[in-house]
Structure 1
């Protein structure tokens, strides 16, 4: 029986040894054959030879493998070995021995770790795990001695085999791999050594298999994109279906502009990739077929026509070709003038109310109203040494409120001044508070806060001689000046920037006197 098994297995391996190397076992080459040799190590009632290389038994094997996915292969593997063992001298097995021929056939499911997770599919090192249930056939010969009795151990029997292994494949070349693998066979309830004394479990006799082998792959080269050019020759492997290609598998490009015909909107004219293969004579980024001015560089939003002043109106239609950048224009390219006063909005300080160009597009204030502003300073009075307005001031301030309401584009500057009597810093603070008091009154009448600015100048800007009481009375004044948007405050033009207002001095807390203790009366 032993010689029959060896002969059959050898005859099966001869044609495989002559098979020429093929492409790697991948999605393109899905079928592979492996030839291998294994070292087997027995463990049973006669002891354990696991990892004891001196007790190895050797045998050949073959497997047929099929690619299922980047992480999974299916295989059918077979192996043969003769496991031999004899007992040393001594009771109770003196002179016992066995020689068991074993044939394993297993359906192998290989989990490949070179699936793009830990290693690339074409990596040199390709680890894997193997789960391979199958069938084990045993043909045993030998004798069993116990207490002087000798039994013949000859028996042929089959078992269900549980086999698991781990291995590494080394990719030597395209289509050739060398692999090493270690696994354990557990033929359930097998009696490999013939010992009549059996354990209660089904794992009594088993063996390790250490394997070294060579794998070659073969099959028809795949054409993934179906363009009629094999993937190994295809320089454009992802060509869409139905697209005409050349000998290298790349899409045709009749006008040689680098844009394939199936994507080229102008396939008979050499053009630019950015314009889907269409030409652009003036290089303005607008294809000639869409360009209303194909020979003059222009803007895409104007169909390729120029706009020198960048106002959104083409030069051919622009009646105001030199409009400053950023200025809003009408359909003719001329600056907008919403109030129709002849002053364009971008120059008009009052674009929503008509006014002459001499007044920057704003309504001119009437002479009598200007006079009221100039004379208002005469009628503003405060309580002595305070910033509190006297009621006599209210009619004048109410008149100024009416003027501001009549001219909503104008702003008002209030500047307050003092004579030179008293402390300079005190006078500066008092003048600033008086200007603020007048502003607060006008704000209470509904004038927006941003339209009125107030400052105090103290005694720094006299307009009369402080040596006389009449001159000092003139210097104690509040002035009112109107100005247009964008213009400086007239007070700052006349007197310069307002000085910083110093903080008011902090009054010292009164010092408490310590009580005086009276001397105790002397005793007599």
Structure 2
């Protein structure tokens, strides 16, 4: 037996290391079994059943095909030489070749045991063909004969799943070749079962093939619960993408893979349930509006409550950036309607402080060009000195004019900072003029912050143009002397 099993085991281990070798499953349906068997004869010369010192050994091979979780079909062949001696005049030596069509009933069919269980019991029914070539004598007479018979073979066995590619099986069964005469004894019983033999088998089963894996994630389609996973995505044993935080959004699609969130927000949490993910919600604990970064707007004026300085503005009221009502200027002359003495001023007309048109000298109006500043600075750039000096001279030459200085800033920094910076810039230019002898009472300063850019704040050149102070000459005749 050892001489037979040793080469079989070596062959099995070699096949295990070969590529595309897998356990016989619905994905890997074809397998080859190599085995060695111990045979025990029973007939007219006696019985060797279960007498292990009376074994005769032989090799075998089988080709198996998976049919269903509970059924395999196989074609197997085996060989043995059976011998027996009763006396010097009565003995036999019979070569036996079996070819059987085996139907295997597997008990690891998913009911009691899983299909991929380590221990896999089965029953075998294998009718087939046996050819016997006998040499011998019975009471001194030659009984040499070559003959074939129909063979009935039944067995029970256990397969041990060693790996995805190899199974080791042990099996015991009985062959009943109908009407066979193994030992050549001419005196027979009346039935067809005089001569028979047991076959005790140990073997290796090697399955071949490659399971279908459409999405290439390493999980066969038959077991893949997510068969269309994108290439390269890590999956669990069922073939589904990993979901580390268990929120139902796969990690590869989850914008917040370490926090349990909502599928509608790409796996990110939303504590206040306002539809804005917490990482983008300026008010994460108070339900608000998506267009206001998740912050509420109680008076619906379009200004988020945390930034609304007038939180109870009546519905429909036009408001500024702070949420407070805007004073209307219907003629767009820069003078609010509530103080505009000339509310119908034509578009583009220059007006005085009460909204009435002024006639400013055109040569003086040409001096109304901006003065530039560096970033976060109130220092007038040197290149603007000539312009500033000409404005100062014009103010001295026209005592009936007043000068409005309007400071501006680019968008860097907060609204509050830029508002204050624009005011300081206007005051810095006023000091320049007063140092040149212009009466401070004739100069009005104001700051507009970043609210009135003349160029986009997306480039250094645009931001440079927005860091400016503008001038507006206004007609302000001196009051008539009192009598």
Task: Provide TM-score, normalisation by structure 2.
Answer: 0.49
Larger-gyration structure (1/2): 1
Q: Which has the higher contact order (CA 8 A, sep 6+)?
A: 2
Task: Provide TM-score, normalisation by structure 1.
Answer: 0.46
